[in-house]
Amino acid sequence: MHRFPFAVLSMIAVLAMAVCGCAADSGTAGVSAADDEAGSVSADPAAQAAVSAEADTTSADAVTGSAAEAADSSMEETSASQKETSESAAAAVTFDEEAAKKADDAEKALGTYEPDLPDGPVPSDLAVEAIPDLSPDFICGMDASSALAEENSGVRYFNEGGQEQDLFRIFADAGVNYIRLRVWNDPYDDEGHGYGGGNNDAETAITLGKRATANGMKVCIDFHYSDFWADPKKQFAPKAWEGMSVDEKAQALHDFTADSLSQILEAGVDVSMVQVGNEINYGMSGEKSGSSQYQLMEAGCRAVREVSEKYGRDLQIVIHYTEIDHPGNLYVLVNRLNEKGLDYDIIGLSYYPFWDGSLDNLSDVITKITTDYGKKVVVAETSYAYTDKDGDGMANSFSGSDAVEGYPLCAEGQAKMIRDICAAASGAGALGVFYWEGAWIPVGPTKAANTPVWEKYGSGWASSYAGSYDPDDAGRYYGGSSWDNQAFFDFEGHPLPSLSVWKYLRYGSTAQQ
């Protein structure tokens, strides 16, 4: 989840309630101050500029600059201790043949589906330029976390022929090969009312993940380690972890990761990628210092490795950052992970072209991470609008003023943007791209009584019940989908021509006359 629904959307929602208008995101957050022990990027603008300039022009060893030198020696000692603990714990976990068979059998029971995708250029309503040398394994991914809440709210999705169909089959037939699902620890209040945003607990991930697997798609599990949205502006600890020491929280995070992931695998979900945290530039689960955050990341990564060993699966671990328009700060974070020896595989990047800079910068960042730091990269989140209209009476994050030059607000412009993002990612060596919430459409028209539906099923970005957990944002500005104009479906659930961009990336298509 990116920046849209929180402090910025608070202002948007005020305008929505007053005039039902749209407002733009105010841009990226500033760099937070670091604890003495953190070794994070300084909040001082001059220091930011110095670090950024140095990071863009020096080798990986010099990237951290004064920020790395400022780290306590105690952080090094903590890291060494954590590494010893990680190695001993990992050694204790062995392959469990019975557990692996249970997961494999459950997955096979879901069946398989192979979509009939183009094997060459085809005529279409949508002209898409083929991406040269696109890897056969390129991830054409879709975050579909809100799907169950949407469907429970009465939303229906239709295929190209106008027939109602399972959303995941529609995605598969459009060329999507990977589904991303967020997981919150406990997105409910004391009386069982959901916080909204899909009410995405592990059980929801299992339900949606099984449907993705049955339709031939792999699954990425995105652990937020929070009871609600985690992004650069906030990283609240789950309610059950409040008051815990860092050591206790790390153990709880490890156990939650291992238990949830085991349940998801044993349900038959074809998990191949796991995010340990969501957009964690400035903190994680209420921890802001570098050493504490690293301890949590290490615990999560270790849990994934243990589950991988137990079930005989190759689960790739993703560490997810955003704000790539400040690349120097990003390189500091990545370099420190390598310095500390964190055991992970992939750097995930959020890239929203209307917030996060140019496509050239995206390419440069991917190239630097893969070449200088030796890590694979995936674009974990992206999107673009096809209209500036609102569909449900809740103001949208993307307004007409956010349009990027050369990419008009229509299905063709949306498709061109996604094609060009994929081309930039592929050309720089990324594994692929995940589109964020391509099916989060209105539960009813703008003048309908949508609020009771959002409240009951959690299909809006937040319900009023989230106020007990997030009083400053969700508690004041709850409501519907602020993303409906960035979906791949119209407001009634019919697919836009742009949805087919995924199946045309490899060979291209020509517009029919």
Residues annotated as catalytic are 279, 381
**Phi, psi for 469 (deg, rounded to 5):** -100, -35
Instruction: Return d(Cα 301, Cα 305) in angstroms, integer.
Output: 6
HSE value, Cβ hemisphere, 13 Å, CA-based, for 410: 4
Angle between helices 290-311 and 97-109 in degrees, nearest 10: 80
> 351's torsion region: left (phi>0), alpha (psi -120 to 50) or beta?
beta
Question: Terminal CA-to-CA distance of the chain, rounded, Å?
Answer: 39
Structure tokens at 119: 């094997």
Give the strand pairing for 178-183 and 139-143: parallel
Cα pseudo-dihedral 204, 206, 207, 213, rounded to 10: 140
Distances (CA, A) of 148 to 116, 278, 297, 388: 26, 21, 29, 26
Which residue, among 42, 89, 15, has the nearest Cα to 306 in the 3D structure? 89
Which residue, among 14, 10, 48, has the nearest Cα to 26 in the 3D structure? 10
Structure tokens at 232: 């650069």
